[in-house]
Amino acid sequence: MKKEKGIPWPPPCRIKENARAKRVTLRIVPEAGLVLTVPRGFDRRCLPRILDRHRRWIEEGLAGLEARRSHLSRPDVLPERIDLQAVGTVWTVATLPGPPGSVEISWRHRPEPRIRLYGDLSQVPLCCRLLRRWLREEAKRVLPPWVDALSRETGLSYATVRIATQKTRWGSYSSRGTVSLNAAILLLPRPLARLVIVHELCHSRHLRHDGAFRNLVARHEPDCRRLDAQLNRAADRLPAWYRASFW
């Protein structure tokens, strides 16, 4: 392995075989670094040549990844409070140093919403992942009743509600009637979170994003075009702790 200017070459990478892949694809992702997807049965002896061909892109991508990882690992990423704008609730976050190596999280709703992180607070990404776990649990508590209320308000049906914490997708609607919502919509202003839920419920009538679907969304949310433009930019404005939870 060569090393120039502090960069090892070839770089560590994860290799995934995919029977449907027609060629080798390269991705740089926060959790794993460089990921190569190769067709099943691909001769891996060819990979060094492919890596060399894309060397500049790989090195720039990995350098940027390391810079973002360093930025999102700073102690000041941990929040002192978390504002769940969608439901008008502000949570205080108390951090208490403890033994190295692990972190524990607990929370309570009364007498005031409060989260407690205890342990090795130098492990910032781990603390943030625990906060993301809390957010998912809180979303499981507050979002299904909201979906039900909007279903009754709009007359749009659903079967079940599923909560996840994806990085990019706000929600989806399955052919079986499952509304899937990203817990992070709790961090959005209430009108944007409402739009996400209404959008997914409208798929109960029209699964495709066609004209009839857009008209139905507009009927239940007349300001949908402006709100949708805001929603397209909202992922980049999520709190640093939430973005750090994926590292």
- Whether residues 48 and 84 share a domain: the answer is no
Instruction: State residue 246's pLDDT score.
Output: 84
* Count of other CB atoms within 10 angstroms of residue 101: 9
3-state helix, strand, coil in the chain (%, to 5): 45, 25, 30
Structure tokens at 131: 């906060």
**CATH number of the domain that residue 179 is part of:** 3.30.2010.10
- Global confidence as pTM: 0.77
- Whether residues 45 and 135 share a domain: the answer is no
Convert the pLDDT of each residue in 198-243 to its tens digit.
999 999 999 999 999 999 999 999 999 999 999 999 988 899 999 8
- Whether residues 53 and 93 share a domain: the answer is no
Task: Grade residue 4 by pLDDT with cuts at 50, 70 and 90.
Answer: very low
Q: Which helix (H) or strand (E) holds 47?
A: helix 47-53
> Percentage of the chain with pLDDT > 70?
94
Contact 239, 188 (CB under 8 A): no
- Whether residues 205 and 167 share a domain: the answer is yes
Beta bridge partners of 35: 14, 27
- Whether residues 84 and 101 share a domain: the answer is yes
CA distance 183 to 16: 29
Longest dimension (CA), the chain: 63
Mean pLDDT of the region 41-57: 91
Convert the pLDDT of each residue in 144-191 to its tens digit.
999 999 999 999 999 999 999 987 799 999 999 999 999 999 999 999
- Whether residues 202 and 82 share a domain: the answer is yes
Q: How many domains does the chain have?
A: 2
Spatial neighbors of 45 by CB under 8 A, at least 6 apart, are none
* Domain finish residue from 51, 71, 91: 71
- Whether residues 92 and 57 share a domain: the answer is no
Closest residue by Cα to residue 7 from 46, 59, 43, 47 = 59
* Domain finish residue from 42, 71, 100: 71
- Whether residues 37 and 146 share a domain: the answer is no
- Asked whether residue 33 carries a pLDDT value surpassing 60, the answer given is yes
Structure tokens at 105: 């999280």
Strands 25-29 vs 33-39: parallel, antiparallel or unpaired:
antiparallel
- Asked whether residue 73 carries a pLDDT value surpassing 90, the answer given is no
Average model confidence (pLDDT) across the chain: 91
Which domain, by its residues, includes 33? 2-71
CA distance 58 to 56: 5
Mean pLDDT of the region 65-70: 68
Decide: residue 102, CB within 10 A, 0-12 exposed, 13-18 middle, 19+ buried.
exposed
- Whether residues 91 and 43 share a domain: the answer is no
Mean pLDDT of the region 103-111: 96
Mean pLDDT of the region 7-14: 83
Structure tokens at 237: 């404005």
